[in-house]
């Protein structure tokens, strides 16, 4: 194993899908883990991860999976995290660092505080801002986090040294790491990630209900495919995200609905100036972001 600011003798990933599998691949690429252990409910899926070289071995029982691990990564759906925490807490080693990849942090911190107790100092909440509309270990790839953002949201109880270790881990995986308060994270992600997914799902659902003669999707152009690509994401995962971050999501959704109502009124009133002002401001903002 090569020398690096981050290294792990045994790293356990619970949930070896797109994110967990890609992290395993990235760390294996960097040569910083002696052993990577996978854990999940589907043994056939875990066996596939071994065959692909993503993990070295696997356990079905979370407590057995984390035994002897110095790093544990929770890459399961948001609503499964509390169950996994309860199942694994008895098997944690004294020196372990625990992190997660959840898209909402307030709910995860609340659950970790309730389950981990004195071990809360070992927990470093995290969220990689990376992914695709695909899922499963077959969709994972080592370059997923290259030059992508990862947000760590350490809490008051988090051990600073363990937070620094998780920063180093994600940097080894190719990511750019920042830190943010839990509440602020959930507000920002509600606007930049959760709302866009909600809108994409909603638009495709609306068009599907209109498509009685099967014509609408036959004439869908590239713009439709670009805008709605994320509607191919896992519906159950995104249901959980919307429900777990509902307060922040509802707040930004109210702003969006108000702006959409104003745009609707401008179109109805034939107010071309108002419409072009909205479009121009949006184009300028989008161009600046992409630049």
Question: How confident is the model over 119-175, as pLDDT tens digits?
Answer: 999 999 999 999 888 889 999 999 999 999 999 999 999 999 999 999 999 999 999
Rounded Cα distance, 134 and 50, in Å:
20
Own/partner pairs, 165-170, CB within 8 angstroms, 24+ separation? 165/6, 165/71, 165/97, 165/124, 166/97, 166/99, 166/124, 166/126, 168/4, 168/5, 168/6, 169/6, 169/8, 169/27, 169/71, 169/99, 170/126, 170/128, 170/145
Helices 81-88 and 106-116, axial angle in degrees (round to 10): 20
Rounded Cα distance, 227 and 87, in Å:
40
Q: What is the mean pLDDT of residues 27-53?
A: 96
pLDDT exceeding 90 applies to what percent of the chain? Answer: 86
Q: What is the pLDDT of residue 267?
A: 97
For domain 11-180, give the CATH number.
Answer: 3.40.50.720
**Would you say residue 202 has pLDDT above 70?**
yes
By C-alpha distance, which of 125, 175, 189, 119 is closest to 154?
A: 125
Band (pLDDT 50/70/90 cuts) for residue 1 is very low
**Would you say residue 270 has pLDDT above 60?**
yes
Q: What is the pLDDT of residue 212?
A: 65
The structural domains of the chain, with segments of one domain joined by +, span 11-180, 184-290
Rounded Cα distance, 239 and 197, in Å:
10
By C-alpha distance, which of 44, 49, 43 is closest to 16?
A: 49
**Would you say residue 256 has pLDDT above 80?**
yes
**Would you say residue 64 has pLDDT above 70?**
yes
Strand duo 149-152 + 126-129: pairing? antiparallel
pLDDT exceeding 70 applies to what percent of the chain? Answer: 97
pTM: 0.89
pLDDT tens, position by position, 4-15: 589 999 999 999
Q: What is the mean pLDDT of residues 22-26?
A: 98
**Would you say residue 213 has pLDDT above 70?**
no
For domain 184-290, give the CATH number.
Answer: 1.10.3660.10
Rounded Cα distance, 148 and 286, in Å:
18
């Amino acid at each position: 194993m090569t020398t690096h600011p981050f290294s792990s003798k045994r790293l356990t990933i619970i949930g070896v899908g797109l994110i967990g599998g890609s992290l395993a691949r990235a760390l294996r690429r960097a040569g910083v883990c002696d052993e990577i252990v996978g854990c999940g409910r589907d043994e056939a899926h875990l066996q596939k991860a071994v065959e692909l070289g993503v993990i070295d071995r696997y356990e079905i029982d979370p407590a057995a999976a984390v035994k002897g691990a110095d790093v544990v990564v929770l890459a399961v759906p948001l609503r499964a995290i509390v169950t996994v925490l309860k199942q694994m807490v008895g098997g944690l080693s004294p020196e372990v660092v625990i992190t997660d990849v959840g898209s909402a942090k307030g709910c995860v911190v609340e659950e970790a505080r309730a389950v981990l107790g004195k071990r809360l100092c070992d927990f470093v909440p995290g969220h990689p801002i990376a992914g695709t509309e695909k899922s499963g270990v077959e969709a994972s790839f080592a370059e997923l986090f290259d030059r992508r953002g990862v947000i760590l949201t350490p809490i008051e109880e988090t051990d600073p040294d363990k937070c620094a270790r998780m920063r180093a881990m994600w940097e080894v995986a190719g990511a750019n790491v920042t830190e943010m308060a839990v509440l602020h994270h959930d507000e920002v992600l509600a606007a930049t990630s959760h709302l866009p997914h909600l809108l994409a799902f909603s638009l495709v659902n609306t068009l599907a209900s209109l498509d009685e003669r099967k014509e609408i999707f036959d004439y869908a152009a590239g713009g439709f495919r670009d805008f709605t690509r994320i509607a191919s994401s896992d519906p159950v995962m995104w249901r959980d995200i919307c429900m777990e971050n509902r307060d922040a999501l509802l707040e930004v959704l109210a702003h969006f609905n108000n702006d959409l109502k104003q745009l609707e009124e401008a179109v109805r009133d034939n107010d071309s100036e108002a419409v072009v002002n909205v479009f121009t401001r949006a184009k300028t903002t989008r161009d600046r972001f992409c630049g």
